[in-house]
Amino acid sequence: MSTVELTKDNFDEVVQGEDGKGFVLIDFWAAWCGPCRMFGPIFERASDKHTDITFAKVDTEAQQELAAAFEIRSIPTLAIIREGVLVFAQPGALPEPALEDLIKQARALDMSEVHANVAEQKAAAAAE
C-alpha cells in the first residue's frame, strides 16, 4: 500500500478509517531533512508489508498547523493513532527492525483497555 499525504483537510477521514477503527502510522518529515530522506524508504517498505494499516506522511513545511497540533519539535517524528487515540509519538528515524517491532507492539495493544484509560484521565481532569 502506498502512503497517503495527510493534511488538515483529510486528517479526520484518514485517522478514523472506513470503520471508525483507524490504525495509522504517521511520518512527520520535510524535504530538507536528511534523516527524513533516509527513513522514507523504510517507511515505504513497511507500508507495502502491512497493507491493513494506513501509512501517512505529513510534510511539516506544507502542513505547519498539523505539525503544531502534534507539537512536532524534531523531524522525523513517527506517531501512531489507533481508533482515534494517539498511542505513540517519538522523534527520530527508526531502523527497519525497530519499526517492525513498534508495529507489532501497536497491534498487540488492548484498545478497550486504552479507551478505558483515556476515559479515566478525562474524568480525573474534569474533576480538577
User: Taking the domains of the chain in order of start, what are their residue ranges?
Assistant: 4-127
Evaluate whether 11 touches 41 at the Cβ level (below 8 Å).
no
4-127: CATH architecture: 3-Layer(aba) Sandwich (3.40)
- The catalytic residues are 33, 36
Q: HEC profile for the chain? A: CCCEECCCCCHHHHHHCCCCCCEEEEEEECCCCHHHHHHHHHHHHHHHHCCCCEEEEEECCCCHHHHHHCCCCCCCEEEEEECCEEEEEEECCCCHHHHHHHHHHHHHCCHHHHHHHHHHHHHHHHHC
| pTM, to two decimals | 0.90
Q: How far is CA 77 from the centre of its chain?
A: 9
Q: 18 — alpha (psi -120 to 50), left (phi > 0) or beta?
A: alpha
Per-residue pLDDT 10s for the chain (128 aa) are 578 999 999 998 888 877 767 899 999 999 999 999 999 999 999 999 999 999 999 999 999 999 999 999 999 999 999 998 999 999 999 999 999 999 999 999 998 998 888 888 888 888 88
Instruction: Quote the pLDDT of residue 1.
Output: 54
Instruction: Quote the pLDDT of residue 47.
Output: 95
Which residue, chain included where needed, has cell 508489508? 49
